[in-house]
Structure 1
Amino acid sequence: MEPVVFVAIIAGLILLLLIVGAPLKPIRYVGQMVIKLVIGAVFLFFLNTLGNQVGIHVPINFVTSAIAGVLGIPGVAALAAIDYWVI
């Protein structure tokens, strides 16, 4: 294969990735947020399962799942503390 053809193929692939990759970035962020919401809902499910003995019940909805998913275990602990002491 001649070097000119090889460089043209590589340049074409880079151009294709630049054109196609730009619209895919926001979709990637939305997908990551959906995954975090699902993980937050699973965290809250386990909190409700284990916290049932102590009287802690945090409802699983969009806001609490987002807090638990984005903040992780400290967010779940904060929601449990709010439920236990405030509500």
Structure 2
Amino acid sequence: MAGDTIQLLFAALFLLFLIYLLGSIFLKPLKLVLKIIINSFFGLLILWAFNFFGAYFHFFIPLNWLTVLIAGFLGLPGLVLLIFLRLVLGA
């Protein structure tokens, strides 16, 4: 009788470990996708604000997926990089 209880306890602990392991495997990519979406949103806001004020100087950065991702991932240094590339390449 005591042997059955110990086996049941080990089986329950093993099941909890498997649930934890599978949860951590599947949640990491979801966290990464959520972080990319949030950073892209803030990158879009940064570029929109820059283009709003840059319109007074006839200077803007096009809004596309690449510029939004650069501004989102790098933040203010990404915006400076985009400005530099716009000035150097004249694109």
Please, what TM-score do these two structures have when normalized by structure 2? 0.73
Alpha-carbon separation, structure 2, partners of 1:85 and 1:21: 45
Is 1:32 equivalent to 2:35 in the alignment?
yes
Shift of 1:82: 2.4
Aligned position for 2:59: 56
Aligned position for 1:68: 71
Name the structure with the higher helix share: 2
Count of residue correspondences: 83
Structure 2 residue ranges without an equivalent (≥5) = 1-10
Give SS of 1:59's match: coil
Give SS of 1:58's match: coil
Shift of 1:45: 0.2
Computing the radius of gyration from Cα coordinates, the structure with the larger value is 2
Aligned position for 1:19: 22
Aligned position for 2:83: 80
Would you identify which runs of 4 or more consecutive aligned residues in structure 1 move more than 3 Å? Answer: 8-15
Contact 1:48 1:57 (8 Å CA) reproduced: yes
Alpha-carbon separation, structure 2, partners of 1:10 and 1:44: 50
**Percent identity among equivalent residues?**
30
Please, what TM-score do these two structures have when normalized by structure 1? 0.76
